[in-house]
Structures are given as structure tokens and as C-alpha cells.
Amino acid sequence: MKVIENNVCAPEGFKALGKTVGIKKSGKPDFAVIFSEITGDAAAVYTSNKVKGAPLTVTKNHLKDGKAQAIIINSGIANVCTGEKGIKDAGDIAKAVGKELKISAKDVLVASTGLIGAFLPMDRIKKGIKGIKNELSKNNKAAEAILTTDTVKKEIAVKVDNFTIGAIAKGSGMVHPNMATMLCFITTDAEIEQKKLKSYLKNSVNKSFNMTSVDMDTSTSDMAVIMANGIAGKVDEKKFQEVLDYICIELAKKIAKDGEGTTKLIEVEVKNAKTKKDAEKIAKAIISSNLVKCAVFGNDPNWGRIICAMGNAGVDFNENMVDMYFGNQNIVKKGVAVGFNYEKVKDIIKKDTLKITIDLNDGKENSTAFGCDMTLEYIKINALYTT
């Protein structure tokens, strides 16, 4: 397995584009297309938010046959809470893109991210769609064009034996995926049967995006899509799942690390729980706690807040069996504080990634969750800088 410098264009037969069509006021890229030379199998998972964006309705509909050849993504406006007109707009975009790329509109998936409650500027988007066929390339701005408040692009590609997987993602605020994710688009030239493709995607998403939180607000626009065009032929599917896990976990970490206003990534591993679900719930409760996140921002080893968050996870565990580590430093043993070196632990927290390990000493199941600290900048971004 080799990580290569590329993204969704790394697998054979995939091209993309990213450009400015005028949705964002900033003039930054806001329109992306991912295209496969041939139709292939595709699968997606979606947000669990009861309120779903119009693009999700259209994408779900177009994916009924498990096939897709292109994905169009816009940033700046999410096309959510836009009623019937929003759904028509998303469908019209798929049609226009299909016409331009000379493929069926049904093979075009649609995703949007940005402001909720506004309509898409359809005139500008349709103008931007003109001529896209010639703008597709292996080297482009697709990863930039899907970002909103993100400060860095999130892309990855891995080459393995006879196949390649590539991906781009976005996510910085309103990130608390549940049954789905922020936006993530994955391509591969591996040949995988559609049903299996979907199950591999779900497996990987459960270990990565679904274990990530920036602020506990699950977005209305979350979506993770994988397209497999099969050009590379049959592959070792166990290895495929492993690589897909790796890709999704790396992107989840990139998203957590780029959480709005964050200064560091927090990785929480819960070990030796009775059930996998227990381990997941406790890990997620810790990375979701505002008070834990504030303490980490303040470089404060406030383990009492971690125990409190664990207690709110809805899991039955024995707090008198809990061991806790910050990095390699043991903080709590059997539920009670050990006399740890405060300055040493403070230095560990000060780094740009903090690993917290919780050993429940109560079973054999493990899980890891990804989050970030909560900072003054987070409040500024979400309170003082808006509208």
C-alpha cells in the first residue's frame, strides 16, 4: 500500500474539474465535477438529519440502479429548505451536466454544501456547466471547490498492487456525522460488485466519519459517495476494505484537525469495552463534550470532565475499573487519579495531536473517535463573523 500525491483522479479512468461559477461571494472555486470515462458501480451513505438537502433526494433517486458516471458538487449554498424548487434545481443541474458530458442525467449525482435556506443561482451554474467536458483533467481544483469554512483541502490517494483508491472530502463546522458524513467523494478503478461496494463503504464510514465530531451538529447535507469504474479488474477485497478504511480514517482526521477554529486533533481510543457499541459511544461522548474540548484548548489535563462525559454516554461501565492515559502518561488508575507529572502532561496536550486512551478493563472491544478542541476562534467564526 502506497500513499500517493493525488485524489479522486488517481484511479484509472477518472478526471475532474474545480472552478468558480459565482456562488461564493469570495470568488473562490465553488463548482466541481468528478467524471469516469465509463459508467461504473456506485454507492452512497447519507446524513441522518431528518431535514435533508434537495441534492440528497436527487442523488438517492439517481443511485437507485447502483450506477453512476459523474458527480457534480457546488459549495456556497446547500440547497436545503428550498422546497420543490430546490429539488427541481438539483435535477436540472444533473440534466445540464449529463447533456454536456453526453451521458444520462440518471448517471449524474448531485451534492451541495453551504448556507441553508437560499436558492442556487441557476443562471450562473448553467453558464458554468457549458464546456465542462474539455475542462476535465487529472490535475485540477476539485478538492478546493468543495470547501466552505475549511482552511485546508482534504485529499488522499492510495495505490495497492493492481488498483487505486482516491478521495476528496470537506467538513469543518456542523460536523457530527451519524450514519453518514460530511461530503466525501471516493473513486476507484477496482471492480467490485455494487452491493459489496456499498457494504465496504458503510464499514469504512462507521470507523471514520461516523466517529468524528467537531460540534455535535449533524449537517443536513452529509453524503459519502464511492464510484468504482472497474477498469483495474478484480481485486483482493479484504485489502480493498483495509485501504478504504485507511482512506476514510485519514480524511476523518483531516476534517477533525481542520474543525472550525481548532488548534489540535483529539484522538480518543476506548479499549477493552464489553461491546463495540459501548466503546464507540464512550469514545464519541468524550470527543463531543464541550467541557473536555475547552480543557484541551487550555492544555488542562482535566480528567474529571472526561469521566463526566463518559458517564453521559448511555453505557453501563464500572468507573472504578477505568484507566486513563494522555499520550503515554497514566493519569487515572482504577477510577482514581494517580500522582502524575502535571508539567509533563501539559506538554503532551500542547502538541497538535492529543491521544487520550481509556481502558475500561471490562471486555475486548475497542473503538477510536476523532475530534478537536473548542476555541475562542470557533465562537468568533460562528457568532461574530456570520452574515
- Least distance between a copy of itself and beta carbon 363 (Å): 16
Give the helix ranges, DSSP H, for 21-172: 54-62, 83-101, 122-129, 142-145
Residue 222 to residue 182: CA distance in whole angstroms: 4
Asked if 339 touches a copy of itself (CB under 8 A), the answer is no
- Least distance between a copy of itself and beta carbon 76 (Å): 13
Binding mask 291-310 for a copy of itself (x = CB under 8 A): x--xx-xx-x-xxxx-xxxx
Three-class secondary structure of residue 274 per DSSP:
coil
β-pair partners for 168: 155, 185
Looking at 55, 166, 171, 173, which residue binds a copy of itself (CB under 8 A)?
173
> Other CB atoms closer than 10 Å to residue 28's CB: what's the count?
16
Helix H or strand E encompassing 17: strand 14-19
Count H helices, E strands: the chain? 11, 15
The window from 78-86, 144-152, 266-274, 360-368 that contacts a copy of itself (CB under 8 A) reads: 78-86
Asked if 254 touches a copy of itself (CB under 8 A), the answer is no
Residue among 181, 218, 368, 375 flagged as catalytic = 181
Kindly provide the b/e burial profile for residues 44-79, where b requires at least 16 CB atoms within 10 angstroms of the residue's own CB: bbbbebeebbbbbbbbeebbeeebbbbbbbbbbbbb
Backbone φ, ψ for residue 107 (5° rounding): -95, 10
Binding mask 85-124 for a copy of itself (x = CB under 8 A): ------------------------------xxx-------
Asked if 376 touches a copy of itself (CB under 8 A), the answer is yes
Asked if 356 touches a copy of itself (CB under 8 A), the answer is no
Report whether 87 contacts 58 (CB < 8 A). Answer: yes
Looking at 80, 146, 251, 345, which residue binds a copy of itself (CB under 8 A)?
80
CB closer to a copy of itself out of 15 and 52: 52
148 tagged catalytic: no
Cα dihedral: 126, 128, 132, 138 (round 10): -140
Asked if 336 touches a copy of itself (CB under 8 A), the answer is yes
CB closer to a copy of itself out of 176 and 198: 176
Asked if 380 touches a copy of itself (CB under 8 A), the answer is yes
Looking at 36, 218, 262, 368, which residue binds a copy of itself (CB under 8 A)?
218
Residue 115 to residue 70: CA distance in whole angstroms: 24
β-pair partners for 356: 268, 326
Residue 262 to residue 203: CA distance in whole angstroms: 28
List CB contacts of 123: < 8 A, sequence separation 6 or more. Answer: none
Size of the site for a copy of itself (CB under 8 A): 64
Q: Which residues bind a copy of itself (CB under 8 A)?
A: 48-52, 78, 80-83, 115-117, 173-174, 176, 215-220, 288-291, 294-295, 297-298, 300, 302-305, 307-317, 319-320, 335-337, 373-376, 378-380, 382-387
Enumerate the active-site residues: 181
